[in-house]
């Protein structure tokens, strides 16, 4: 602010100097008729010297004005170049983060397919019909997710989705990887969201539990709350420190309790997907007493109306 005021003050002062110089020249010209009546050559020389100084001053000010015009033009050009550079860098960074997110989701889908396929091949004889259907359904869901990632230009399409079906597919895959998961989700509860986004959030939350609390018991619950579906994924593991809780959704952050390698972007991706669907994702934890993640999404219209009518 101070530099701007100084710059403006200099410009005003320069303009006043131009006016003063022109007035000085005008004064000198007005004195010319009187030169003939002067008796002293010294007075004549003084008038002529004044005219010369005024002319030099005006010429100098004009030159400074040209220099300022050139300087301002160069400054504007540099500012445009800097803005263009920052714009390009921001776009490149956005592309890099988007590519990292898609790569993370693709790896997650491939891991799920591998786990479910291994279970089908290894335990096929011991699985009942429900178990085989659940694993097959999960595999098909992950294949659809991969197709969506490949077809990046396809816009997201929110639709009514049964929460218990989405949770069931993800829990089947997690159980197949050795996790103890308990589920309490009403059968008729629906969200209005984009399928792959919800699946991505649930997947990342369950993978996060397996990473930070591999021997803990995990539970998934869902309920309706004021027109929103609230899905909670909690565990009885070691929990999060105050620092890890504050940075839980920070891109690239890996908590102190992480027991598996990873990129540290899973929870960041989960929150991004939740917000993309008009929802939210928060975390709560007490060290030594586990952690709970709460996903809120818009309820499907019929579900929300039913809640209003019930009250």
Alpha carbon 89 to its chain centroid, in Å, reads 14
Q: What is the pLDDT of residues 194-203, one digit of tens each?
A: 988 898 899 8
Rounded CA gap, 254 and 164, in Å?
A: 30
Taking 70 as the threshold, does the pLDDT of residue 98 lie above it? no
- Residue 84, CB-side half-sphere exposure with 13 Å CA sphere: 6
For residues 183-204, average pLDDT? 92
Q: What is the pLDDT of residues 129-172, one digit of tens each?
A: 666 666 676 776 677 666 666 665 556 688 999 999 999 888 88
**More confidently predicted of 7 and 141:** 141
Q: What is the pLDDT of residues 256-289, one digit of tens each?
A: 555 444 456 778 888 988 998 899 999 999 888 8
User: Which pLDDT does position 2 carry in this prediction?
Assistant: 45
Mean pLDDT of the chain: 73
Listing DSSP states for 39-74 in one string gives: --HHHHHHHHHHHHHHHHHHHHHHHHHHHHHHHHHH
Q: What is the pTM of this model?
A: 0.57
User: Which pLDDT does position 5 carry in this prediction?
Assistant: 43
Residue recorded with tokens 């008038």? 47
Taking 90 as the threshold, does the pLDDT of residue 222 lie above it? yes
User: Which pLDDT does position 6 carry in this prediction?
Assistant: 45
Mean pLDDT is lowest, of 74-78, 122-126, 149-153, 283-287, for 149-153
Q: 187 — phi, psi (to 5°)?
A: -70, -25
Mean pLDDT is highest, among 34-38, 102-106, 298-302, for: 298-302
Residue recorded with tokens 């597919």? 169
283: β partners: 293
Taking 80 as the threshold, does the pLDDT of residue 109 lie above it? no
| Overall residue count recorded for the chain in this entry | 311
What percent of the chain has pLDDT above 70? 48
């Amino acid at each position: 602010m101070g530099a701007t005021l100084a710059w403006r003050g200099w410009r005003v002062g320069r303009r006043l100097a131009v006016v003063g110089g022109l007035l000085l020249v005008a004064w000198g010209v007005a004195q010319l008729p009187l030169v003939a009546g002067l008796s002293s050559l010294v007075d004549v020389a003084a008038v002529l010297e004044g005219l010369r100084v005024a002319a030099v001053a005006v010429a100098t000010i004009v030159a400074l004005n040209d220099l300022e015009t050139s300087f301002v033009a160069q400054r504007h050009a540099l500012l445009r170049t800097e803005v263009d550079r920052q714009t390009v860098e921001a776009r490149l960074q956005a592309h890099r983060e988007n590519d990292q997110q898609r790569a993370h989701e693709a790896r997650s889908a491939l891991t799920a397919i591998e786990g479910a396929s291994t279970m089908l091949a290894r335990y096929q004889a011991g699985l009942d019909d429900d178990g085989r259907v659940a694993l097959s359904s999960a595999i098909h869901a992950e294949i659809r997710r991969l197709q969506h990632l490949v077809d990046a230009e396809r816009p997201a399409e929110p639709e009514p989705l049964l929460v218990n079906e989405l949770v069931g597919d993800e829990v089947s895959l997690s159980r197949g990887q050795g996790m103890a998961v308990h589920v309490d989700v009403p059968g008729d509860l629906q969200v209005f969201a984009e399928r792959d986004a919800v699946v991505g959030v649930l997947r990342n939350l369950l993978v996060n539990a397996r990473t930070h609390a591999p021997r803990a018991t995990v539970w998934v619950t869902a309920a309706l709350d004021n027109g929103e579906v609230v899905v909670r994924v909690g565990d009885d593991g070691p929990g999060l420190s105050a620092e890890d809780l504050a940075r839980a959704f920070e891109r690239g952050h890996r908590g102190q309790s992480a027991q598996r390698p990873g990129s540290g972007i899973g929870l960041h991706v989960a929150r991004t997907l939740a917000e993309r669907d008009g929802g939210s994702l928060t975390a709560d934890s007490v060290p030594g007493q586990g952690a709970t993640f709460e996903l809120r999404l818009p309820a499907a219209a019929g579900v929300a109306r039913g809640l209003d009518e019930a009250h």
